[in-house]
Each structure stands twice: as C-alpha cells, then as structure tokens.
Amino acid sequence: MSNSAVGERLSTIKHVVLVLSGKGGVGKSSCTVQLALSLAHQGHKVGVLDIDLCGPSIPHMLGLSGHSIHQASAGWVPVFADPSKQLGCMSIGFLLPSKDSSVVWRGPKKNAMIKQFLSDVYWGTLDYLLIDTPPGTSDEHLAAVEYLQEWNPDGAVIVTTPQAVALSDVKKEISFCHKVGLPVLGLIENMSGFVCPHCAECTNVFSTGGGEGLAKHMDVRFLGRAPIDPSLVMLLEQDDKTVVPKLAADDEEVRTNSIVETYQHCELSKIFGRISKELDDMLEAK
Amino acid sequence: MSAPQNTPPVGEVPPDANEHCPGPESASAGKAAGCEGCPNQEICSTQAAGPDPDLPLVAERLQNIRHKLLVLSGKGGVGKSTFTSQLAFALATDESTEVGVVDIDICGPSLPKIMGSEREQVHGASGGWQPVYVQDNLALMSIGFMLPDDEAAVIWRGPKKSGMIKQFLKDVDWGTLDYLLFDTPPGTSDEHLAVVQLLRDSGVTGAIIVTTPQEVALQDVRKEIDFCRKAKVPIIGVVENMSGFVCPSCHGESLIFYPSTGGARALCDELGIPLLGSIPLDPRIGQACDQGTSFLDTCASSPAAQAYTKIIESIKSLVG
C-alpha cells in the first residue's frame, strides 16, 4: 500500500504526537485539547486530529460543534478554534448529520476513514499535529501507526488516572507502543485528586500516585500530575468558549478573544504549559 | 463530500447500496456484479457470507439463561464495569439466583480485577470452558484470564475480537443462569455488533446505559442509544454515574462533572427513556474496585450504595 499521500501532507508538519490510553474516560481528549491550547499559546501552530470515530469529543471541547468541513482544491480544510488560526481541528464529528447519529462501523471502514484524514486534510504548515485516539489497542491504533510509521511519528503521550483498574489497561497500551515501535514520550497522571472548592481539602477521588509509580515501573518519563479542575470541566462543557468559567455566581464576567486565551485563566494551564514546554524541548533536542 | 453513511447492524440493505444489492448476508455479498462501485463493497466482501452457521449453537448454549442484559455506554470510563460488577454482586446475594458475567471488552478487560479474581484461569472440561466462579452462584468469563500477565496487550483487529466473543458464548459452559450480564467496551463497533448478532436468535432482554453528567459524555451516549434503536435492542434505562461529589471533610457538594445540559435527566426526557437513578461519586467505590470487593457490602449505608441498591431493585422489577 502506498502512503505517499500521507507523506506529502506530513512533509509540512514538524512533529506528530499521538495521545493514547488503554482506558476510556481518563482524559485523553481533554489532555489533547490542553496540550494543543498550551502549545498554541506558546506560539506554535497546532492541528488536532480526532480519530475516535465512534465517540468524537474534540469538536465539543473546542466549541466547534455544528461546524462542517469545507472542501478546497488542496484538500479538506480543518476547522479553526481561534481567530488567528493557530489551532485547527479535524474530526468525524464535523461529518455527522446530527449529534445523535451513531457511527456503527467495523474495522475496515474505520481504517479507511483514518487514512482519508491523514491523506486528505490540508493542514498546511504545522509545528504540531496531535492525534487523539479512542481507548484500546485495536483497529484505529493499528491504522494510525501503520499509515504514519513510514514517516517516523515523534511518539506517544500516555494518559492515565491513578487507580489500579486504569493502570492495568495503560500497561497494555505501553506494551502496544513497544510492540509497534512507537516511542513513548511520557505519561500524564490525570484526575489526580480533587480540591474541594468549599474547604480546599484535596480528596483523591481516584486515588493518587499510581501513574508516577507505573512510569517508574515501565521506565517511562513522568510528565506530571493534573488534578480535577472544575473550571476546566466547565470550560470544555460550555458553548461559548470566550467566557472565563465562573466558579462562584458573584464572580465578574471576564471575556477573551479565543479559547486559547480563556484556557490561560484555568489553574491547570500552568501544569499543561509546563508539560508542553517539556515536550517541546524534548522533541526539539532530538 | 457527503456525510458518512452507517452500516446497519443486522442484515439490512444499507441505504446507500447499489440498486441490485443482493443483501449483505447473501452468499454473493460484495462479489455480485451489482456490487461493483458500491461504497459498502469492501465491508460486504470481507464479511463471512450468509447467516453465521454458529448462531444455532450459541442459541442452544444460552437456552437456559433467563435474562441477558447488556451494559453499554458510548463513552469510556463512565463506570460500565463498576456498575456491571456491583449489579452482579447484588443479584448474587440471593443464593438461589445464578448469575454469569461476560467481559467483552477485549482490549481492556477490567472485570477480573474489579471482581477480585485476577490470575484465575479458565479450564476446559468435556462440557466446554469452565468460567471462573467468583462466588458459588457468580460466574465470570474474561479474556483477562487468558493473558500471561497484566502488561500483555491484546492487539487485535475487529474479526479476531468478534471471534473471541463468539467463543465466550458458544464454548463456555454457562449452565442454567437467571442473569447473564455483558460488560462492553466503549463505542459502537465490532464488539457491539458481534454481541447483538450472536444474541439474535436467543434474544436480548435489554440494555442498561451508563453515563456521567457532562455533555461530552452524553454526546457519546446519544450515539449508543441510536445504535440500540438501529440494532433493535430494548433499552431498560439510563444510570447516571459520578453525579455530584460530597467532600468527606466538609460535606459540601460539588458537581465535578458539571451537567451543563441538564445531565442524564434531560437526555432521558428528550429521548423518552427511563432514568434508573443517579449515583454520587464516592472515592470508596474506586477503592472497592481496586481491591476487588463488593462496595455494596463494605459501605452498605453510604448514599452511593443506597442509590445503587435502588437502581438494582428497579432493574430487577423491570425485567421481571
């Protein structure tokens, strides 16, 4: 199979990073979005490709639900999340007739869609292409790795939550990376504790420290620990992304130009700012 | 460019098929002259032709099982496996009720750990594979029992996953059961299609849909409900998990996963589906899962356990 079309698209993209986790609901998409927002804030040009075909979440998180994709002579034009077009996004969510429609597809059809995303989307020049994946180690992952392999993707960021049940699935994902020869760039421990807004007491809703232990055990770089942040949850949920989420009803309304700026008002942006800086340094040094 | 067309789950002619479609289950599916240029040709020609010859065997194997319940959610990590395990433990507290659980999450099997039976093994006997008995009246089957260690990844494409699920139903000696629960992976793909097709002859009692309150999860859950309707799986109801969190030190409540669109209640009203109940987030649920114990036994008086019990009672009465 010739993937030269994929190669052509990737030739103007500096770094390709996959975001993986064996477990669902650990925050792959929210971490992808936060990495993208942080990288964009640091001045990089970023693309987010959502290959979770049965459950695309990226459009909603970036506030792009209901948008559709335009076909230009150069290919499918991504949907941009900010006016300065620093952050573009492509997802099957933009192709569905309604938010209720399910994508009941078996493997071969999913593979074909992913190939199309990789070969037909006109990203232009990008510093980063982040690929958000569904949970598991199956068709979508094999397809993405297969089509990208020839062009040496930079590697994968693994996301986990701290509890033992999640860790065992994440171990499988790391084994998957080893098996297919995809470098593991590092591991993020997400949902590590929740700071009660009433009393500032931190509760480890899904226990804590498990991710760091796993990183040590599997010899993977530990990128950091991110607590549950209600203002982030709200930002990803709300329709208007230019309003800074209010935690108390009497807070003053703050408006920004774009989701990239709004995100800088969340506590978590400091952690992800550091993580994306670390990633960037690591990849630039390569 | 048009919106992608969906593959109908069971044996129907897809709406975008060519005019002389022989039907996706005919022997010439994907190979007939009329299939040339059809967008579904590749799928039809790579699928086994005709109705699966193993279906009668599956139906025979499952004939002594009264209720077959699917636990579904479009979204990952909302608590499908946790709910399945607690439902199984709760049903099995009555010693005369026989309960079986099949874990069809092939790439991320969590049930062996959650139900405290890690490192058990499946044995073959003349009647078929013996499931692992967590209790005398509670049997569990999972691919987790067949892996050399918990780091081993199952890197399988769809057909191989479907094959494994078929074996769980065709080759496992389930015996006589009151309930067989199916814990599924997130999404609407191979595993879901496989289980629905395999149960076609023996019938599905219904599906329980698990979600969390935020719109990002509900979006995927709407897709799962659409799948159930297309696949003609009756929906018993929706369970809202992780709804609200009570701080153990100050007892103040926070909505961690904020229901920006009204949560499961609004979804159920909109789509006309019963809401079975809401379960608050309790760190002890996660701990019970990590330790493989029944949360309903260890923390019976907690609000979360009471919510669970209420939901399980209503499921019992709904399925009869």
- B105 pLDDT higher than 60: yes
Residue A275, pLDDT > 50, answer yes
Å between B96 CA and nearest CA of chain A: 30
Q: Do A237 and B214 touch (CB under 8 A)?
A: yes
- CATH number of the structural domain spanning residue A234: 3.40.50.300
Of B250, B192, B232, which Cα lies nearest the Cα of B72?
B192
- Give A-chain residues touching B220 at CB under 8 angstroms: 54-55, 57
Question: How many CB pairs below 8 Å do chains A and B form together?
Answer: 243
The predicted pLDDT at position B48 comes to 59
Q: Do A205 and B151 touch (CB under 8 A)?
A: no
Distance (Å, whole) CA A58 – CA A52: 9
In a domain, B127, yes or no: yes
| Interval A264-272 mean pLDDT | 95
Q: Indicate which CATH number applies to the domain containing B102.
A: 3.40.50.300
Mean residue pLDDT across chain B: 91
Number of domains in chain A: 1
| Partner residue facing A164 (CB), from B113, B154, B255 | B113
Q: Is B283 on the interface with A (CB under 8 A)?
A: yes
pLDDT (tens digit, 9 = 90+) per residue, A195-211? 888 888 889 999 888 99
Contact A230 B151 (CB under 8 A): no
Tell me if chain A has a CB within 8 Å of the CB of B12.
no
This model of the complex carries an ipTM of: 0.92
d(CA B77, CA B187): 12
Query: φ and ψ at A47, to 5 degrees?
Result: -120, 140
pLDDT at B228 over 90: yes
Q: Which domain holds residue B147?
A: 55-319
Percentage of the residues of chain B whose pLDDT score is greater than 70: 93
Beta-ladder partners of A129: A16, A47
CA dihedral sign of residues B291, B167, B192, B159: positive
- Report the gap between the CA of B147 and the closest CA in chain A (Å): 11
| Type of residue numbered A79 | V
pLDDT over threshold 90, residue B320? no
Read off the amino acid at residue A237. Answer: E
pLDDT tens, position by position, A19-68: 999 999 999 999 999 999 999 999 999 999 999 999 999 999 999 999 99
Report the alpha-carbon distance of residue B244 to residue B241 in Å, rounded.
Answer: 9
* Contact present, A168 and B113 (Cβ < 8 Å): yes
Q: Is residue B12 situated within a structural domain?
A: no
Return the number of other C-beta atoms located less than 10 Å from residue B169's C-beta.
26
Q: Is residue B41 part of a domain?
A: no
pLDDT digit string (tens) for B21-74?
A: 777 767 677 777 778 788 777 777 766 556 788 999 999 999 999 999 999 999
> CB-based contacts of B244: which residues, under 8 Å, 6+ apart?
B253, B254, B255, B256, B278, B280, B281
Asked if residue B1 belongs to a domain, the reply is no
Which pLDDT score is estimated for A109? 93
Q: Which helix (H) or strand (E) holds B82?
A: helix B80-91
Share of chain B above pLDDT 90, in %: 78
The answer to whether the CB atoms of A107 and B158 lie below 8 A apart is yes
**pLDDT tens track for B229-281:** 999 999 999 999 999 998 888 888 888 999 999 999 999 999 999 999 999 99
Asked if the structure places residue B235 within a domain, the reply is yes
Angle formed by the axes of helices A164-180 and A210-217, nearest 10°: 30
Domain that holds residue A178: 4-285
Which among A100, A55, A94 has a CA at the least distance from the CA of A71? Answer: A94
Q: What is the pTM of this model?
A: 0.91
* Backbone φ and ψ of A33, nearest 5°: -60, -45
pLDDT, one tens digit per residue, over A216-264 is 999 999 999 999 998 999 999 999 999 999 877 778 889 999 999 999 9
pLDDT of residue A15: 97
Is B117 within a domain? yes
Q: What is the pLDDT of residue A62?
A: 97
Confidence of residue B3 (pLDDT cuts 50, 70, 90): very low
Residue B211 has pLDDT above 70, yes or no: yes
Using the beta-carbon criterion (under 8 Å), do A165 and B114 form an inter-chain contact?
Answer: yes
DSSP 8-state code for residue B238? E
Count structural domains, chain B.
1
Predicted local distance difference test score (pLDDT) of residue B49: 58
Q: Is B290 close to A207, i.e. CB distance below 8 A?
A: yes
Domain presence at residue B28: no
Q: Of B46, B62, B42, B66, which is closest to residue B54 (Cα–Cα)? A: B62
Question: CB distance from A199 to chain B under 8 Å?
Answer: yes
